[in-house]
Amino acid sequence: MQAALPPLDDPIVYVFKEDHFAKVYGSRQGLYPHSYYTFAGLRYAEPPVGKYRFQRPKKLKMEGDIKGTKYGSPCLQPNPDYPNQVIGSEDCLFLNIYTPKLPGSGASLPVIFWIHGGNYRRGSAAQYGGGYLTRRDVVVVTVQYRLGSLGFLSNNDQNLPGNAAMFDLATAIDWVKNYIEFFGGDPQNIVPTGQGSGASSAVFMGLSNVTQSRARSMIAMSGSPFSPTALDDKPKETTKKIADKNGCPSSPTVEFIKCMREIPAEKLILSDSEIENENVAEKGIESIGMILTPSPVIENPNDFRFLPSYLEEEPRTAVDLNHIPRIPLLTGVTKHETAGAVRGKLKDNIITRLKNFPNYVNDERNKNRFYSAASLATNPLQIFKGNYLGQFKKTLQDELSNVIEATSDALFNFPAYLISQAWTRQRIPTFFYSFDHVGKLRGVRKLLKGSLLVDSNDNEESEAATHGSDLPYLFDLRSLDGTPFTFQNESTPLHPDDEKVRNNLLDLISNFARNSNEIECQMNLWSGIQVNKPCSPLSIIAKSIDGLFTNATSSIFKPKELPGLINLFRGKK
């Protein structure tokens, strides 16, 4: 009988740079043969507190002895279990590294640079344990950035341009570029990856002149820069609400900033929550397609007199002017993205809308809202009535299913189509997937608790592949502070179907990170994940893309008929 392997020491990494040196202590986690190294709670920037609140982050070198054995505090946000309370700290600019190897033991590995979702005001880096992905020989970096008003407040001028949190991400990816070689990663192969608003942020990194040189490829899961919730196109209105809520003048900007710096950070987060709740109460179902609190903004063009802007033009403008980078893209959606919202906390509002819908769509103002949509729209009003809600003799469940289709199309499927189309027209390698599997892995509702897109019911059983359903197949999901969920961990046996899907998704993500020009397709007919076939970049023929898109997403609409829906659920007039 073979003796058990002896316990292995926790890792120590030595960082040598021309002008500084660091000794970093980590921990060994996981069970043999799937053990890996974790370096948690590593600072990548100075604490953004005091006079640095609302400012761009200050870079931080790795120097001296650094303990990477404990997760850093999450950024300030609503407590998911007690929404009237706040959890986290203003001092929160940390990242975590998960690696299967250390330098000196083979070639450097691709780096998944993970940006969590949460509508720019919820989530943490510690929630996403990277152990599963390390089994596919990739390094995983999970990063935190300031949330809510603390990260995205903007008055759309040079004194408060906004996007402080986007510069957090820029500083973090620079940190990774500088130091990841000491943790087994390849600094020339960093892949910004995210889910939900994190997916939008990942693609923004490719669109921004500040960060695009850092990205080898990009992965966007259930999110797109074309999503109606990706950007705040009225930041001054948002800031005015925040100023009023906190008793500060919104102008002049210098006085506004001075006043807001005097307010406890926790109160700012609670004020964000009040504004969010008021918007949801007023807009109902439309709120899932709205900017509810401060978010990324388009800044003024770079005139070289001030610090460079992070986002200088709308994503649609960048596409029209061919200002998109030649960075390969993998993007995808779950089959029923909005099912959690439609069957959850917004259900009562939706039922009321369904009862009144015939009058609603026949109202002349709403007709104008449909017909004034983007030039892609071709009579979406009639299609909307016919395909989605035209048969009111159906059961309530049937009608709710139709609303799920409508909202998933408008808020996720069509934005995913737009970015896929934009990239393929430029002959940039582009892959699209649809996650269809309804499995037994749990944790998504706890992970995303507080989000409108997640059913507030604590029952983790699901009858659909909803927003976030793919996440437990990629990550060891945890609470905001990194505490493992009690019902699952890396050693929990999986249902055979779930194990197949996990292996397929891990292969898809890791293979793309390794070689973004092609993905080996070894998935059998049943896999729970549909990838465009053959597993090569999408066809550049628009007609072919349309057909592929419609088949993969079960979309009732053809893509060109969707802009009216986006405007409807965004509440845009």
Between CA 290 and CA 270 the distance in angstroms is: 19
User: Which three-class secondary structure state does DSSP give residue 122?
Assistant: coil
Measured distance CA(125)–CA(96) in Å, rounded: 7
pLDDT value at position 530?
59
Which of the given ranges, 76-90, 298-312, 537-551, has the highest pLDDT on average? 76-90
Share of the chain above pLDDT 70, in %: 77
Rounded to whole angstroms, the Cα distance separating 347 from 285 reads 8
Given a contact cutoff of 8 angstroms between Cβ atoms, the answer to whether 521 and 338 are in contact is no
Place of tokens 């507190």: 49
Tokens 């994190």 belong to which residue? 198
Residue 188 has pLDDT above 90, yes or no: yes
Cα(203)–Cα(219) distance, integer angstroms: 8
Which positions ≥6 away from 312 have C-beta within 8 Å?
A: 209, 298, 299, 300, 301, 302
Residue 282: CB partners within 8 Å, gap ≥ 6? none
Answer for the pair 190, 111: CB distance below 8 angstroms, yes or no.
yes
Which of 78-82, 542-546, 557-561 has the highest mean predicted lDDT (pLDDT)? 78-82
* pLDDT at residue 19 greater than cutoff 60: yes
- Residues 20 and 182: their CA atoms lie apart, in Å, by 14
Write out pLDDT tens, residues 94-124.
999 999 998 877 789 999 999 999 999 999 9
Residue at 18 is within a domain: no
Q: Residue 510 in 3-state DSSP?
A: helix
- Assign residue 145 a region: left if phi > 0, alpha if psi is -120 to 50, beta otherwise? beta
* Pick from 110-119, 380-389, 563-572: least confident: 380-389
Whether the predicted pLDDT of 369 surpasses 80: no
Closest among 419, 506, 495, 518 to 471, alpha carbons compared? 506
* Beta carbons within 10 angstroms of residue 364's beta carbon: 7
Give how many domains the chain has, as a whole number.
1
The dihedral over CA atoms of 180, 182, 187, 192, expressed in degrees to the nearest 10, equals: -20
| C-alpha pair distances (Å), 374 with each of 148, 371, 378, 505, 560 | 30, 8, 9, 35, 9
pLDDT in tens, 513-552: 998 776 655 443 334 555 554 344 443 333 334 444 444 4
Would you give the distance in Å from CA 345 to the centre of its chain?
21
Residue 128 has pLDDT above 70, yes or no: yes
In a domain, 484, yes or no: yes
Residues in the chain: 573
State the average pLDDT over residues 332-338: 89
476 assigned to some structural domain:
yes
Read off the pLDDT band of 376 (50, 70, 90): very low
Query: According to the model, what pLDDT value does residue 568 have?
Result: 42
Query: Which band of pLDDT confidence, cut at 50, 70 and 90, is reported for residue 380?
Result: very low
307 compared with 550, residue with greater pLDDT: 307
pLDDT for residue 48: 98
Q: What is the pLDDT of residues 212-260, one digit of tens each?
A: 999 999 999 999 999 989 999 999 999 999 999 999 999 999 999 999 9
pLDDT over 80 at 386, yes or no? no
The pLDDT score that the predictor gives to residue 519 is 64
Per residue in 392-440, pLDDT (tens digit) is 445 666 677 877 887 888 888 888 888 988 898 888 888 888 888 888 8
CATH number at residue 106: 3.40.50.1820
- Render 414-436 in DSSP notation, one character per residue: HHHHHHHHHHHHTT--EEEEEE-
Residue 122, token pair as written in the block: 């919820």
Backbone angles phi, psi at 269, to 5 degrees: -65, -40
For the segment 550-565, the average pLDDT, to the nearest whole number, is 45
Q: How far is CA 494 from the centre of its chain?
A: 26
Residue 375 lies in a domain: yes
DSSP assignment of 202-261 equals HHHHHH-TTTGGG-S-EEEES--TTSTTS--S-HHHHHHHHHHHHT---SSHHHHHHHHH
Using the predicted structure, report yes or no on whether residue 560 has a pLDDT greater than 80: no
Q: Does the residue 300 lie in any domain?
A: yes
Contact 257, 54 (CB under 8 A): yes
Q: Which residues contact 4 (CB under 8 A, 6 or more apart)?
A: none
pLDDT score of 397:
67
Q: Listing from the earlier edge strand, what are the strands of the sheet with 12-16? A: 12-16, 21-25, 64-67
Structural domain for 486, as ranges: 23-359+361-570
- CA dist 435 and 469 (Å) reads 8
The pLDDT of residue 264 is 97
Instruction: Note whether residue 499 is domain-resident.
Output: yes
Q: End-to-end distance of the chain based on CA atoms, in angstroms?
A: 74
Percentage, residues of the chain above pLDDT 90: 53
Let me know if residue 342 belongs to a domain: yes
Does any domain span residue 446? yes
Q: Say what the pLDDT of residue 161 is.
A: 94
Alpha carbon 421 to its chain centroid, in Å, reads 20
What's the confidence (pLDDT) of residue 401?
80
What letters, b where the CB count within 10 A reaches 16 and e where it falls short, cover 495-506?
A: eeebebbbbbbb
Query: What DSSP designation does 409 have?
Result: I
Q: Please, what is the average pLDDT of the chain? A: 82
> In the beta sheet, which residues pair with residue 42?
95
